[in-house]
A and B are shown apart, each in its own frame.
Chain A
Amino acid sequence: MIKLAQAGRSAPSVALAQEQLNKMPYAAFLGVSLRVGPDGLETLTPDRADLIGNTNLPALHGGVVGSLLDITGMLTLVFLKALDRSPRLVDMDIDYLRSGQALPTHGRAEIVRAGRRMANVRARLWQDDPERPIAIGRLQFLFPKS
């Protein structure tokens, strides 16, 4: 088990995360929304026919799955570190664990380690059961220059 780093000294900011989401046209295109509960930030993406990549199964498009991991990771970082500008995604690595069904998709992420310039973030997506993730991702973000 990885011992997760503390979120840092800055207070989490829902307003900044929402602001970041509002100015992300591609996230709006996918229909992503966010909510913050006692367990932190969660993204929610509705079931929509145009997000299905394989209509025979049907299965959520792999590119959409990757996109939701990216967006979830970034919004969580903006939320926890109260960033007022976008961090830059440097690289990411996705493991696809199950095919995504035609269902709403939930996303959650955690900061594994945040340094002065970089943050290592782990994101996961699930649909009907939080214990059955459909994909996990490792993301490296560069913080915006202050």
Chain B
Amino acid sequence: MVLEEADTGPGVAVLLPGAEHLSGDAEDAVFHTSVILATIDNTAGWCIRDHPDYAEGTSMATLDLRVDFVTPARLSETLRVRAVCEGFDGDIAFVRATAQTLKTKVLIATGQATFMLGTPDMPNLATPANALGGPVD
């Protein structure tokens, strides 16, 4: 998968070309659902790093991720996964993502993820203007 640097759309977009080892069923030649899920997870993380309030070096952990697999995608396709950070308060970030075929723009999957920013070893470095009050704990 590659980050689509020339992309002008909202959030961050990643291109995922089909390949044999990404197959879910050798007989059907479709993307394994897990591959789409993993790419959504990764792109969601990248889109938080791209957020204006994100402080470089802050670690993050996925709290949860929900994916709807709308249509199976053929391996002959390239998928575009786009993730948009819809909320960011310094501790938690909310992301929505979609996967669609690059040329025909068929919706393949939608995803929704929540991330926690900062871990005990790597504290949260963000100081966003819209953060709610002082320390949580």
Contact = CB atoms under 8 A, between A and B. Distances in A.
Contacts of A24: 23-26, 32
Chain B, interface SS category: mixed
Interface string A75-109: 00000000000101111111110010000000000
Interface residues of A, number: 31
Interface residues of B, number: 34
A48 B73 CA distance: 28
Contacts of A25: 20-23, 26, 32
B106 to A, nearest CB: 16
Which residue of B26, B28, B38 has the most chain A CB atoms within 10 A of its CB atom? B38
A132 B62 CA distance: 17
Contacts of B69: 88-91
Interface of A: 23-29, 53-54, 56-57, 59, 61-64, 66-67, 70-71, 86, 88-96, 99
Interface of B: 20-28, 32-35, 37-42, 45, 59, 61-69, 72, 119, 121-122
